[in-house]
Amino acid sequence: MKRDCEPKPADRKPPTASLWLGAGVFFAVLAVYVLSNPGRIDLIDGQVRYEVTMNWLTMGRPVILDFRIPRSMGGTHRGRFTYSFYGAGASVAAMPLVFIGTFYDDPPGEVTRFLFSLTTSIFGAAAAALLCLFYVQLGIGVRKALMWTSVAAFATLMWPASESTFDNGQHACLVLIAVFLGFLSSRRKSPLFAALGGLAAGLLFTYQEYFALIIPVLALSTLDSRRWQVRGGRSGIRVLLHPIGLLLRLDFRGAIREFKSPCGLSADEVIAFHDACRRCGLFLLLSLVGVLLALDFNYARFGSLFDSAKVHYREHGGPPRFGNPIAGLLTLLVSPGKGILLYSPSIVLGLAGIRRLWRREPQIALTIAAASMVLLLFLSNIAFAGGDWCWGPRYLTPLVPLWALAFPFARFKSPSGRKMRIAIVGAGLIVQCLSVSVENQRYFFERALPDLFWASDPWFYLNHSALAARPREMLSLIKGPPPEATLFNTNSNPPTYTTLGPLPSIPRSQAPVWMRHYRVFYVPRPWPLWMRGIAPDQRGINLGAWLAGTLGLALLGFALLKNSWASAAAPIPADEVSPCEAPQGRPAEN
């Protein structure tokens, strides 16, 4: 009888060891994310969500009162209040930070806006910690798990996404939580983990409705097909896909028959198959909680379960929703202006490793591939596939931590494979350092682009690139702001308020001249650098205290990681060594 020799170092670790490892990664990554954060609301979408959060806390209503926010960002209904068309997810996630800020908000709004801008950084750090624990569960040694977690956190699109008040980094964290919990449910045959994974997946719907397309795909992570591999040359995944194919052909009787007694499985394997299907069903059932919350939020605002004011966007001058699918697909994948392979080169490692991950955990590889296909097919058909105004293909951010799961399994046949991996990671790190250095909207104003430029030219990013322009923008920081830049923020707004464009009375063609009057476009983006030029009485925070606190956070994280690193190097006691392991008692790392 063949023994199961799969390395499972996580199974031998006490639960506290994993907690310390995750906490160390979380604090260390969070310290870097906080230090590189802009420390202000960097776009109008973030300002809308902040407004909803603040008014919800202080007034009890998720309304918009700021007259500077365009009417197209929401709709008016009950009580003649204006409500945002965004879901509640991002505004609720920021509530704890904004609530803390209300006790120290002097000057008014500065502290709460500063803390609001850190929301996604916390989610990004949590995703990094979860990814490290996921690696360990996949059989990757702690040391290599830490190395690949660093690559995912700082050499992929996750870094800039975690520094923005766009909420795509939050989406990525929830996707990873759902898949990780689904994977644990399959490993431990746990309905509880499947239910929790479904709850996390359902929360995605409270952010954006289109995530309903990938929630069923995420449920595939609950299936442990290795327990029902089998006869007739069919893999466990094919055993599952066959009845699904019958359902799609409307052969309901055949599908039910295949689910009840899959062909080629023994009695024990049929039981394992049915357990997996129940976990998958529980995942999907609990995901409906998020759907119900989103529908209830719609009803509370607009008196209709299915009206979120997005359907009225065109009434306020919005563009068509759907565009050229070929242009959209090329824009997202390979364009110089938005291509994921240029803005996150480390994804190549995921593509190289997905085949070996399939051999190890086919349900995870299938989840990654299927979620990517579904999301790409949807996004490439929408007119605003680039998600402007922003850095890189932000809508693809939820896929980045999933592809990062395949990083440790990447192998290159070339003798210089190690050098290739180092070059790819190095390129990714350079790109992400460029991304957090300069105000992103500078690129668009310097070219006098209209707000909806992407609607009139779907091929724009195949001919223009913010990435190619970024080195010149960084070099201009050495010279500092131009002499006419007497104000920090646009329209005399406070420092942490979002950057707005020229007033309607100023032609957009004059935007390059207009922007030269504001320092925000010509100073480094991270708050520890630009905030030095702000008068102390206009700062929302104590600069020195925050720098010291962030440094303390980093030291705490590195201390916990050092302890985890030492634990990984300690020999395993002889009585815990599996008979399948090598004589030295340690499983081979990938």
Cis status, amide bond into 56, omega within 30 of 0: no
Low-confidence ranges of the chain (pLDDT < 70): 1-16, 77-79, 225-255, 257-269, 310-318, 567-590
Question: Looking up tokens 């399959």, which residue turns up?
Answer: 186
Rounded-to-integer distance, Cα 287 and Cα 289, Å:
5
Contact 301, 77 (CB under 8 A): yes
Rounded-to-integer distance, Cα 494 and Cα 496, Å:
6
Rounded-to-integer distance, Cα 358 and Cα 366, Å:
7
Look at residue 63 and give its three-state secondary structure. Answer: strand
pLDDT digits (tens, 9 = 90+) for 54-77: 999 999 999 999 888 877 777 776
Q: What pLDDT sits at residue 156? A: 97
Structure tokens at 340: 């994921």
0.95 exceeded by the pTM? no
Residue 549 CB coordination number (10 Å)? 14
Rounded-to-integer distance, Cα 284 and Cα 268, Å:
25
> Where in the chain are the domains?
438-538
Q: What pLDDT sits at residue 572? A: 43
Instruction: Determine the residue type at 98.
Output: V
SS (H, E, C) 322-363: ECCHHHHHHHHHCCCCCCHHHHCCCHHHHHHHHHHHHHHCHH
pLDDT digits (tens, 9 = 90+) for 196-212: 999 999 999 999 999 99
Q: What pLDDT sits at residue 176? A: 98
Length of the chain: 590
Q: What pLDDT sits at residue 74? A: 73
Q: What pLDDT sits at residue 265? A: 63
Rounded-to-integer distance, Cα 12 and Cα 494, Å:
53
Q: What pLDDT sits at residue 411? A: 86
